[in-house]
Amino acid sequence: MIEIHSTTILAVMHNGQVAIGGDGQATMGNTIAKSNVKKIRKLQDGKIVVGFAGSTADAFTLLDRFDEKLNAYSGNMKRAAIELAKDWRTDRFLRRLEAMLITASKDELLILSGTGDVLEPDHQVAAIGSGAMYAQSAALALKKHAPHLSAEEIVREGLTIAADICIYTNHNLVIEKL
């Protein structure tokens, strides 16, 4: 998979709830360019939420294509993701895009990459970006040792821990629930 530096996106399915969140930091090289970027978007009248890491322009191109695929496949998120991944891998223009996506519905969680991957994460926790492993580790521990927490609380704490450790992640969080 592509390694993306510059953000952290975390999604969790837990106790019948789904939450996805991201920090607000955008960097250019080793400089903070903006601290309150919204990297989470709702699609399909709020039935699907997508988070992105990587180049903003590339991510918006992918979000538009993903929305087109969702419309073409009647909102079937997995089918739309697979079709996008096929195009992303084979199309000369899309192949150059540097971003990753996490997509979430009330029933599914997927990670999409430009290498053609459409992954259903283990333990219903997905993370991408530079702080992904910090956020994912925290979320997995919280799911196991604090099962009373909501999906939103797990996402918030996982992202907070990532922001405390990762220089490309900040504490300006945007979290959406389904």
Distance CA 5, CA 12 (A): 21
CA dihedral 115, 116, 121, 126 (to 10 degrees): 60
> For residue range 118-145, what is the model confidence (pLDDT) as tens digits?
999 999 999 999 999 999 999 999 999 9
Domain residues for the domain of 94 are 8-177
Query: Is 7 a catalytic site residue?
Result: yes
Q: What does the block give as tokens for 77?
A: 């998120």
Number of domains in the chain: 1
CA-CA distance, 26 to 28, in Å (whole number)?
7
The CATH number assigned to the domain holding 105 equals 3.60.20.10
Tokens of 117: 């991957």
Q: How confident is the model at residue 54 (pLDDT cuts 50, 70, 90)?
A: confident
* 5 band by pLDDT with thresholds 50, 70 and 90: low
The pLDDT tens digits of the residues spanning 99-117 come to 899 999 999 999 998 788 9
The reply to whether 1 falls in a domain is: no
- Is 60 part of a structural domain of the chain? yes
Backbone angles phi, psi at 23, to 5 degrees: -85, 175
Q: Which of 7, 8, 27, 169 is catalytic?
A: 7
